Amino acid sequence: MNLNMRRLMAAALPLAAVATMVVLAAQESGPQPSCKMCPGTYVPNEEIQAYVKRAIANQLTDQQVRQVDIGKVNVAVAVVHRGKINDPNATVAEHDLVSEVYHVISGSATLVLGPDLVGKERRPADLATVRLLNGPGNNAKAIRNGVAHQIKAGDVVIIPAGTGHQFTRIDDHVTYLMIRVDPDKVTPHKTEADSKKDLQTDGRTTAGGGRGAATDPRR
């Protein structure tokens, strides 16, 4: 290797180092995880079934299992169990800030969905459902131009915040896993330890609705 070649290589080394630094800086300034170094959350089926069992035994409807901060939003896992009804004028529920996803575990029902609510009535702020489960919202008398869906085990339903939902018929029961998406973080966290502590009680003060709950069973 001649002298000129050595000089060219020596000059190129600092440039290569600078180029590497530029690439690394670009990588660091790119998209970053919205939940930095956050752990995952595992909920065993045995815990879900414990909530189902308590719902049936104590006539409870909606029970939060977890509420987790994943960075930009809170995500909750709940279990809901509803008994037999046949009421075309059943109360409509709507949540202003929290969206919900249902995955039906067992049973079947007629569920009416739609955003145009008739006869809205604000939910009291002190209800367990508002404070602990799904934040502020309304009840209503009906859904104008609502769409009825026949839901059964295995089905999934997505209910955006602001969309009314109304169970008008349940043949025997419907039990579903609910995922709540809370971007405004209006409801409190619930950890594994909180869940274990809750399951040691009858659930009356933490459940939303049901004849065994401490709040109005129609809500």
Tens of pLDDT, residue by residue, the chain (219 residues): 565 555 555 555 565 555 565 555 555 678 889 999 999 999 999 999 999 999 999 999 999 999 999 999 999 999 999 999 999 999 999 999 999 999 999 999 999 999 999 999 999 999 999 999 999 999 999 999 999 999 999 999 999 999 999 999 999 999 999 999 999 999 999 999 999 999 999 999 999 999 999 965 444
Backbone φ, ψ for residue 80 (5° rounding): -125, 135
Contact 204, 214 (CB under 8 A): yes
pLDDT for res 29: 76
pLDDT for res 30: 81
For residue 202, what is the DSSP state?
A: -
Nearest to 170 by CA among 122, 96, 80, 109: 109
Cα–Cα distance measured from residue 155 to residue 27, given in angstroms and rounded to the nearest whole number: 41
For residue 129, what is the DSSP state?
A: I
Pairing of strands 164-182, 147-152: unpaired
Helix axes 45-58, 192-199, angle to 10 degrees: 30
Domain locations along the chain:
45-199
Q: What is the CATH number of domain 45-199?
A: 2.60.120.10
